[in-house]
Amino acid sequence: MSRAVSVWVLPDQLTTDHPGLAAAEAEVGRDNVRVVLIESRSALRRLPYHRKRQVLHLSAGRHFAGRLRDAGYAVDLIAAPDSRAGLLQHVGRHRPARLVTMAAADFPARRWQAGAMADDLRIEVEVLPNAMFLVGRYDPIPAPEPGRRYVMESFYRAMRKRFGLLMERDGTPCSGRWNLDADNRRRLPRGRHVPEPPRFEPDEITRRVMAEVESSGHGVGSTRGFDLAVTHADAEAAFDDFLAHRLADFGPYEDAMSRESGVLYHSALSPQMNLGLLEPLSMARSAEAEYRAGRVPLNSAEGFIRQVIGWREFIHWQYHRQMPGLRSANAWDARRPLPRLFWDGETDLRCLGRVVRRLIATGYTHHIERLMVICNFCLLAGVDPAAVADWFLSFYADSHDWVVLPNVIGMGLNADGGLTATKPYIASAAYINRMSDFCPGCSYRPDRRTGEGACPFNTLYWNFLIEHEGTLRSNPRLGPAVLGLSRLGGEEREAVRRQAAAFLESLEAYAGPAPEPDTRRVEEADLPEEACARSGRPFSRRQGLAAERERERVEYCSDACREGRGRARGGPAA
């Protein structure tokens, strides 16, 4: 009888500390262990996933297979219609005595592992606990009551205590405060330089994957400009760069949004974390070490640690608590189809268009743009939560079922009845104007609720309050917002309702294949920096003459310089 043991490593379990590898090697020795990785066509094509996401997943998996081979493991990398077909092929070819795997992060795969997998493969299967989340080691709420609301803050504090992060010897939090979020709400100052994150030139493996993905004709976005870390070494280098150049300012500008920078001071490493190329607890301890060494302020270290061991873990916990019902949750009875603008970025709303076009180009926007621009709009507009979730899954490079459903359906759209977040995260244009530079130059006015030029975020916000006034009044966290309705008389309420209805009626729905964005459109933030031919000033990120002009025609930073009236390089104003 064969002593061989196979270890199935799922595509998002590329951790160097995979418990299946350790368990199998301890049992039969490395020479008798064979690792199997499946490139499942059904998983890659279930939705029109962003092409950069497809490249990331395939290239990271192939690099991981090479790393395992270099370490002396036999590796079976199989392209198959689905995981079941790939594993049947592997079992039929190699006849292992049994199969070891780690529980999937996503619910459908975990349910199959725990249920029909052994019968389907006709082999003994051992499913080990998922070791990529801290809640697998310590669950602050091991027996949640059905329907009861649990807040992330209590969960987060329990995790801090358990893992000893930013704690004093007497068991109190550093500075005596658990949460410094109130210190982290600054708008980015005009003209402030933001360090760019590192970029990684695609190697031969990645270039081959890029060609495969482009030739498949499936997905949104493009592989052009792909520069993400696809190996453990590159991911660690990217994290080291974040610690050195951006973590110190992460806290104050955590919620800021910018036309010019889509990353700002964020790590932008959630895609790598979610694949196992980076270990979350190690990242949190490294951030704490920067604070202890005096290199970063406490609010920045605490803000980052809260995202990693607080919100990320709480989201994963909520996902498995609420599945499978979470996917169909729709507490606000939102039925509107997703507007076409989410597929092409064509809208007069400057903030929304900018964020969507940035996402189409890169596969990434940071969490406030996701929550307070995209989800805020969809909640106010009454867009179907399942459609919004599928859109997030399609467009974001860091998307996985376990992170999207609770973040979008639960927190962003509050469609789970408040189980994930205790209030809907809704806001008018005032918030976007306060935290970003999107509003200047927009077709709409952030200070108008109705009438000509009124920002739709304002109209939809007040319309949402009017429509759901009874429900919202029962939520103490929304009291001040709902009380604002007392200032609106019957005539103004009717004006809000009419203008909101007209705007919503104008939204073009889109239900077909994802349209390709107009790549001819020039975005200021995507242009290389150039010096004005007259003044010498850099102007690529300063609007130049016009952001819509073709790049080769723009030589001057302003009309004054083009007409010879601006200050010449090294001379007085003309």
C-alpha dist (Å) from residue 300 to 102, 232, 251, 303: 34, 25, 4, 5
Question: What is the 3 state secondary structure string of 215-270?
Answer: HHCCCECCCCCCCCCCCHHHHHHHHHHHHHHCHHHHCCCCCCCCCCCCCCCCCCCH
- Are the C-beta atoms of 132 and 15 separated by less than 8 Å? yes
**How far is CA 286 from its chain centroid?**
22
Torsion of CA 534, 540, 545, 547, to 10 degrees: 170
**How far is CA 150 from its chain centroid?**
23
Domains in the chain (CATH in brackets) are 5-131 (3.40.50.620), 152-322 (1.25.40.80), 340-506 (1.10.579.10), 529-563 (no CATH)
Q: How far apart are CA 467 and CA 488, in angstroms?
A: 13
Q: How far apart are CA 229 and CA 206, in angstroms?
A: 10
- Are the C-beta atoms of 442 and 349 separated by less than 8 Å? yes
Q: How far apart are CA 203 and CA 222, in angstroms?
A: 18
Share of the chain above pLDDT 70, in %: 88
Q: What does 121-144 look like in DSSP terms, one character per residue?
A: HTSEEEEEPP-SSGGGT--SSSSP
96: phi then psi, degrees, rounded to nearest 5: -70, 155
Burial class of 237 by CB neighbour count within 10 A (0 to 12, 13 to 18, 19+)? middle
User: What is the chain's pLDDT, residue by residue, as a tens digit (574 residues)?
Assistant: 468 999 999 999 999 999 999 999 999 999 999 999 999 999 999 999 999 999 999 999 999 999 999 999 999 999 999 999 999 999 999 999 999 999 999 999 999 999 999 999 999 999 999 999 999 999 999 999 999 999 999 999 999 999 999 999 999 999 999 999 999 999 999 999 999 999 999 999 999 999 999 999 999 999 999 999 999 999 999 999 999 999 999 999 999 999 999 999 999 999 999 999 999 999 999 999 999 999 999 999 999 999 999 999 999 999 999 999 999 999 999 999 999 999 999 999 999 999 999 999 999 999 999 999 999 999 999 999 999 999 999 999 999 999 999 999 999 999 999 999 988 999 999 999 999 999 999 999 999 999 999 999 999 999 999 999 988 988 877 777 787 888 899 999 999 999 999 999 999 998 665 544 433 333 333 344 444 555 554 444 333 333 333 333 345 455 455 555 444 444 333 3
**Prediction pTM value:** 0.89
Q: How confident is the model at residue 473, as a pLDDT?
A: 85
Instruction: Let me know the angle formed at the C-alpha of 277 by 133 and 309, rounded to the nearest 5 degrees.
Output: 30
Q: How far apart are CA 405 and CA 1, in angstroms?
A: 44
Q: How far apart are CA 383 and CA 394, in angstroms?
A: 17
Q: Across-strand partners of 445?
A: 454
